[in-house]
Structure 1
Amino acid sequence: MTALGLDFGTTNTVLARGVAGDAAPTLVALDNNESIFRTALCFWHEAGARDGLAVAAGPAAIREYLDFPADSRFLQSFKSVAASTSFDTAPVFEKRYSFEQLGRLFLAQLAHAAGGAFDRVDRLVVGRPVTYAGTRPDAALARRRYDAMFDGLAREIHYVYEPLAAAFADARALDRPATLLVADFGGGTSDFSVVQVAAPGAVRRCTPLAHAGIGIAGDRFDARIVDQLVLPQLGKGGHYRSFGKVLDIPGGWFADVADWSRLALMRNRRTLAELEKLRRSALDPEAIARMIALIEHEQGYALYDAVGRLKRALSGAEQARFRFEGEGIAIDTEVRRADFERWIADDVARIAATLDTALARAAVTEAAIDRVFLTGGTSLVPAVRALFEARFGPERIASGGELTSIAHGLALVAREDDPTVWVQAEE
């Protein structure tokens, strides 16, 4: 049987192939033989292409954008709108694309990069968050969109909670029974699973006890950085005149700029016309002009890259330099880790409360947890790791495979005789 595990992530996507017997799954080589495929799309006009628009995904999308930023439309973190009832279609040049259409375009490019990995697949197990990103996520809507997106890729398609999949991967390292807590921190969500792991050789190695999740993770931390360091130069906190009154500029503009899934979508005729109207009435019109230029000249990826470099630097140092320059914006400033941790303190507190929910649903105490497995790129943020070290002690914490453990686990589930044991609650 051909079995694949697909970790369709907010930031990165990883594909793993299930192997018969007790062998570990293998990652599928994708672009340039790398296994990490960026969850991003880039569109540009090209004669002869379908609908006149060519598209690339993953690292190729980044390369195309970097070569021709002004003539491209670069979309990232689009998984974040899967459960959003307010999202209808994304404007891309003169076309509009639904979530399902974006997803199918992305998967077609992924399949091409994967060679023949998707040919005649018997079973595909796809990861899904415990709680989707968004203010009021609609899980049923996300499921319908996922079904339309993945339809036809395999004879059987199942969905498994991402932290539960990571538990399958981590259980391979355990040589005795244990109560395992998995914390998965991605770009859009932070998810938890409490799993009872049986001794090696048991018929059923992993038994889920409870799950919990929240739509706060790496992208939210990014938004805090943008809010503090970038938005003040784009007019945040400013005012405009309307019918003889001086009013605050609505905060929605700035929330969209700070959200990677919405920033690229701001480059459309209606939004830019509204911003131009705001610029003419703003007390600081040059600040709004900088926002317009940021959007018009597709500076979203460059800003994302600068924010990511700062986060990574602060994971290894007490302070780091944030540098971003483009379209009238020039920022070069030192940032202390303590300041960053203050900016995200409320988010970390809400993540901690979600952890409490997972433990309560499983009816276990912190003392009853034998092992904590941290995965996902945001697990490397010191403030996140400190939360778990304070509550469980460093000796019970394990980590590794931050970007690949979920795909490995999904492939392991795909090789199970009956994967519905782990997916029936979700399906």
Structure 2
Amino acid sequence: MNGRSAEGAIGLDFGTTNTVVALADGAGGSELVEFAGAEATGAVFRSALSFWEEERAWNGIACEGGPWAIAEYLQSPLDSRFVQSFKSVAASPTFERALIFGKPFRFEDFGRLFLQRVVAHAGGRLDARPGRVIVGRPVEYAGARPDPALARERYDLMLKEFGAELHYVYEPLGAAFSYASRLTEPATVLVADFGGGTTDFSIVRVAEPGAERRCVPLASSGVGIAGDRFDRHIVDRLVLPMLGKGGQYRSMGKTLDIPGGWFAEFSDWSRLAQMRNPRTLNELGKLQRSALDPEPIGRMIALIEHEQGFPLYHAVGRLKRALSAEDQAEFHFEGGDIEITAEVRRSDFEGWIADDLRRIEAALESALAVARMEPQAIDRVFLTGGSSLIPAIRALFDRRFGDERIATGGELTSIAHGLALIGGEPDPAIWAA
């Protein structure tokens, strides 16, 4: 709607790992929403839900979100179901619903409940329904054969009660608006956004301050590889061999390899919590009885039954952060009757993600090709998102563009800030994906 007032406009960066909300101030700026309460972590709200059975709750199941979900889980892990990274199934045609305490939840059900918890913990700043919501979306969705139309349908259902006017904007374009607010002269900017589920690029021409149209998109590209994929490599190398990966079982007189599907599910944060159901545990029990070495499958069952997804996720994240600062770090995980300790060199980790880095670089090449630009035509490179701190990723851009052209900052908040700035524009539909 052209000319609509920016009053009430918000930017919503609903991320695979974290969610951030910013409010347009009506004067060309924006302000992050800080969450309130004992468990609050500033403006960053973990994209997670925790469910538990409660007779007085709707449908007999209560839930919490963000850092409060983590607190609920830690208080009673065996009586709760912890769900994280559910954004990664938004575009998946194979995901229909997940069973939580026997009740089916679709993606949009998770999303609506999650947004309700975001509003509840925003200290009253989101109580009024926003007039205009600028929602970030990846250039390419995560998952095998993602369906963008399906993701849009699910997002619409998730957000239909959240805002009156919805606009979807590529996440790196939101970051470009945020970075442009720092610039005092025209520049051609490459934005690289490294999220939990996807890596996205936008090339934007930024005009001088005060220009009628400050940012003009030239090209965008993306790939469904980012932080969660890197996590899976760590789990694959350090955890799954102790849970039966590479093992064998007997069936109808034959010795067969244990199917890899069990391990793919276990290493996917969006699916791990769903494995704690009677059918899956029964099938794993059968596999344990027929395995040549049943002990590793027993460990997997114990980890699932004891709801160890979050502690495992935390241990993996701790290792990644340590390897961003040190050449070697210790991986340590203990839970569900299993303890794993291993020294990991940064060079090992970089070897595990080498193929992923090549695909990320190919997506970068694609953006440059669409814009018909060589690397030397890019004046500034802005890296954002948590995985941008990984040294191998930073080295990729140093090599292509030179350290002097690279800027960082606001790794977790820049997208929401920029989306809110777009919400303050007279016609945000110009930048819609």
Q: Bigger shift: 73-82 or 88-97?
A: 88-97
1:160 maps to which of 143, 158, 169: 169
1:311-390 alignment, distance < 5 Å: 311-390=320-399
- In structure 1, how many angstroms separate the alpha carbons of the residues matched to 2:363 and 2:401? 16
2:84 matched to which residue of 1?
76
1:21 matched to which residue of 2?
27
2:4 matched to which residue of 1?
none
TM-score (norm 1): 0.98
SS in 1 for 2:319: helix
Note the C-alpha offset of 1:120: 3.4
Contact in 1 for aligned 2:36/2:123 (Cα 8 Å): no
2:420 matched to which residue of 1?
411
Q: What is the CA deviation profile of residues 127-173 of structure 1, one whole-angstrom value per residue up to 9, with x for unaligned ones?
A: 00000000110000000000000002222111100000000000011
SS in 1 for 2:216: strand
SS in 1 for 2:302: helix
Runs of 5+ in structure 1 lacking a partner? none
- Work out whether 1:394 is the aligned partner of 2:403: yes
Contact in 2 for aligned 1:126/1:160 (Cα 8 Å): yes
- In structure 1, how many angstroms separate the alpha carbons of the residues matched to 2:209 and 2:110? 42
Q: What is the CA deviation profile of residues 340-395 of structure 1, one whole-angstrom value per residue up to 9, with x for unaligned ones?
A: 00000000111000100011011111010000000000100111111000100000
Contact in 1 for aligned 2:198/2:222 (Cα 8 Å): yes
SS in 2 for 1:291: helix
- Work out whether 1:136 is the aligned partner of 2:145: yes
1:261 matched to which residue of 2?
270
- Work out whether 1:422 is the aligned partner of 2:431: yes
1:278-293 alignment, distance < 5 Å: 278-293=287-302
1:236 maps to which of 245, 249, 260: 245
TM-score (norm 2): 0.97
2:68 matched to which residue of 1?
60
AA partner of residue 243 (structure 1): M
Note the C-alpha offset of 1:276: 0.8
Contact in 1 for aligned 2:382/2:407 (Cα 8 Å): yes
Note the C-alpha offset of 1:77: 0.1
Q: What is the CA deviation profile of residues 192-215 of structure 1, one whole-angstrom value per residue up to 9, with x for unaligned ones?
A: 000011111110000000100011
2:217 matched to which residue of 1?
208
1:97 maps to which of 55, 80, 105: 105
- In structure 1, how many angstroms separate the alpha carbons of the residues matched to 2:36 and 2:364? 36
SS in 1 for 2:213: coil
Q: What is the CA deviation profile of residues 58-101 of structure 1, one whole-angstrom value per residue up to 9, with x for unaligned ones?
A: 00000000010011100000000000000010111111100011
Note the C-alpha offset of 1:326: 1.2
Note the C-alpha offset of 1:52: 1.1
SS in 1 for 2:94: coil
- In structure 2, how many angstroms separate the alpha carbons of the residues matched to 1:186 and 1:336? 23
Q: Percent identity?
A: 64
Contact in 2 for aligned 1:31/1:59 (Cα 8 Å): no
- In structure 2, how many angstroms separate the alpha carbons of the residues matched to 1:329 and 1:362? 51
2:206 matched to which residue of 1?
197
SS in 1 for 2:205: strand
2:16 matched to which residue of 1?
10
Runs of 5+ in structure 2 lacking a partner? 1-6
RMSD between aligned alpha carbons?
0.8
1:240-251 alignment, distance < 5 Å: 240-251=249-260
Q: Bigger shift: 96-105 or 108-117?
A: 108-117
AA partner of residue 285 (structure 2): E
- Work out whether 1:252 is the aligned partner of 2:261: yes
SS in 2 for 1:16: strand
SS in 2 for 1:142: helix
1:114 matched to which residue of 2?
122
- In structure 2, how many angstroms separate the alpha carbons of the residues matched to 1:271 and 1:31? 38
AA partner of residue 58 (structure 2): R
- In structure 2, how many angstroms separate the alpha carbons of the residues matched to 1:45 and 1:154? 30
Contact in 2 for aligned 1:31/1:37 (Cα 8 Å): no
2:47 maps to which of 39, 43, 47: 39
How many corresponding residue pairs?
Answer: 423
AA partner of residue 92 (structure 2): S
Contact in 1 for aligned 2:48/2:84 (Cα 8 Å): yes
1:277 matched to which residue of 2?
286
SS in 2 for 1:79: helix
- In structure 1, how many angstroms separate the alpha carbons of the residues matched to 2:236 and 2:337? 18
Note the C-alpha offset of 1:116: 2.8
2:236 maps to which of 224, 227, 231: 227
